[in-house]
Amino acid sequence: MTTLFAGRESLRVPGERATFVWTLLSLPLTVLVLGWLLQHQLTWQEIALLLVVAMVYVAFARGRLLGGGLRIHAGQLGHVHAVVEECARMMRMPTPHVFVRDDPFVPVVAVGIGEPYAIVLSAQYVDHFREDELRFLIGRELGHIASGHTRFTSLLSANGRENGIVAIAFGAWLRKIEYTADRTGLLCCGSLDAALRAIAVSTFGEVGRKADLSAFAGQLKELHAEPSLRMAEWSASAPYPTNRIAALHRFARDPLFATWAPRFAQNAAAPVVREPGEEVYAGFWRRTWAFLIDVSVIQAIVPAATAVQQRVFSLNELANDKDAGPFVNQLAKSLGPNGHVTVSVGDNMLLWVVFAVYAVVLVALIGQTAGMMICDLRVINANHDPRVGFTRALGRYVSLVASLFAVVGWFAIFNRIQPYEKWSHTRLVSGSAAIR
């Protein structure tokens, strides 16, 4: 099922990728407008820093799930685990981790910007769903993972909760991907009625089971009759449930559904996909693009840190603080004229120091930098273990520097496996192009 989200038979809704591109292109204007409304103009340095912080935050999310969430397996809520495994078989993808947490706002969400991905269910909703409804919801989240949506949505919201600013900036794309996810959910559950019930219960709780969904869907006519009523959806990160129901009705009649439905049903009896197949190693140009993007991110961050280059630390308060003691007072006064000290670091040195810390930390925690994430690349161990760790991440970049000084690295820049990768037992591979 290599064409699940690509090619003529792609399950992506038309315009999803174009919307994502236009969202990114219009981001500068969006930032300016939001800055004017909030009376604070975000700089590109702040945005780059927020991106890096978000990636680290997502990396910590797995620790929070392990520490505070209930992991699902065959012996614990086995009926939920069975549904996840069956839907994963249908889509020919590895089964992600599944957790239950106490969240009254988000019934189910998929998180992760790389392996291992996780699906998180709300403890307050999990018992409300019937098996076919759960299959729809799980299928949706697997669709988000398989299509690469979570690599970006996890950065925007690691817990799946709506954020007003994010909704305004990325809402057009976020609403599109929900329609794509609904398609995979419908194919996994195989029942339009179950899919509609799942939407109703996840939207209204147990009351949704008693609702007349035909009458609810009919409310869409009133929205279409008054254009101003539809504008409120523009400030949301998810489409109206009435629009989702209408879209599912259209997809159920679409020849694309008839094409994929028997394939999903056939794959339900296939073996579980447990291990990724042959990895596609990164080529020169993808490595180069990832590196250039990372350099751009660092150059955006460093001006905020360049304050260190010509930074003046005021020590007047400390010099005059009676509680600090006479020794500290005297030391503060002696550090510089008028109680100031200037720390000077060369531009290039600061750039590479920040780059080294940035690369080692992100590769150790999540296996990829911002540039790698955008270029769909990730670092893994030579034994195909996706967990890199600080020791190997540090060894990777120390070996990289050593290979350049040893000149060996300059003669191998076009190799798919670099000398420093052999020395550090790491590999740079395509993040989602494993051949299964």
pLDDT of residue 433: 41
Q: Which has more pLDDT, 104 or 361?
A: 361
Q: Judge residue 323's burial from the number of C-beta atoms within 10 Å of its C-beta, 0-12 exposed, 13-18 middle, 19 or more buried.
A: exposed
Out of 81-95, 156-170, 227-241, 313-327, least confident range = 313-327
CA 331/CA 285 separation, integer angstroms? 53
The DSSP string of 36-92 is HHHT----HHHHHHHHHHHHHHHHHHHHHHHHHSEE-BTTBSHHHHHHHHHHHHHTT
Find all residues with CB under 8 Å of 212, minimum gap 6, and list them: none
Q: What percent of the chain has pLDDT over 70?
A: 79
**338 has pLDDT over 60:** no
- Cα separation, 166 vs 155, in Å, equals 10
CA atoms within 13 A on the CB side of 236: 11
Most confident of 109-118, 276-285, 344-353, 388-397: 388-397
What's the burial of 353, exposed, middle or buried (CB within 10 Å: 0-12/13-18/19+)? middle
* DSSP letter (8 states) at residue 344: -
- For the chain, the structural domain boundaries read 16-267, 284-309+345-430, 311-343
- Our separate counts of H helices and E strands in the chain read 19, 8
Long-range contacts, stretch 40-43, CB < 8 angstroms, 24+ apart: 43/304
Strands 118-122, 108-111: pairing is antiparallel
Q: Is the pLDDT of residue 125 over 80?
A: yes
Give the per-residue pLDDT at 54.
Answer: 75
Q: Do strands 97-101 and 118-122 pair parallel, antiparallel, or not at all (unpaired)?
A: parallel
pLDDT for position 339: 45
Using a pLDDT cut of 90, give the percent of the chain over it: 24
The SS3 assignment for 240 reads coil
pLDDT in tens, 373-409: 777 788 988 887 778 889 999 999 999 989 888 877 7
Give the three-class secondary structure for 256: helix
Output the pLDDT for position 264.
93
Is the pLDDT at 236 greater than 80? The verdict is: no
Among 216-230, 346-360, 363-377, 419-433, which is the least confidently predicted range? 216-230
pLDDT bucket at 323, cuts 50 / 70 / 90: low
> pLDDT at residue 411 above 70?
yes
Cα–Cα distances (Å) from 173 to 7, 17, 20, 234, 248, in that order, read: 20, 8, 5, 11, 18
331 pLDDT above the threshold of 80: no
* Residue 310, pLDDT score: 41
pLDDT value at residue 215: 79
Nearest to 293 by CA among 394, 397, 372: 372
Residue bearing the bigger pLDDT, 58 or 72? 72
- Please report which confidence band the pLDDT of residue 345 belongs to, taking 50, 70 and 90 as the band edges: very low
Q: What is the pLDDT of residue 100?
A: 92
The predicted structure's pLDDT at residue 228? 65
13-55: pLDDT as tens digits: 999 999 998 888 887 787 777 677 666 666 666 677 777 777 7
pLDDT value at position 41? 64
Question: Is the pLDDT at 363 greater than 50, yes or no?
Answer: yes
Q: What is the mean pLDDT of residues 144-149?
A: 90
Mean pLDDT across the chain: 80
CB of 192 closer than 8 Å to CB of 152: no
Looking only at the bridges linking them, the beta strands covering 340-343 and 118-122 are unpaired
Run of H or E residues at 152 = helix 150-156
Higher pLDDT residue, 17 or 237? 17
pLDDT of residue 1: 40
- Residue 179 pLDDT: 95
Of 2, 24, 4, nearest to 12 by C-alpha is: 4
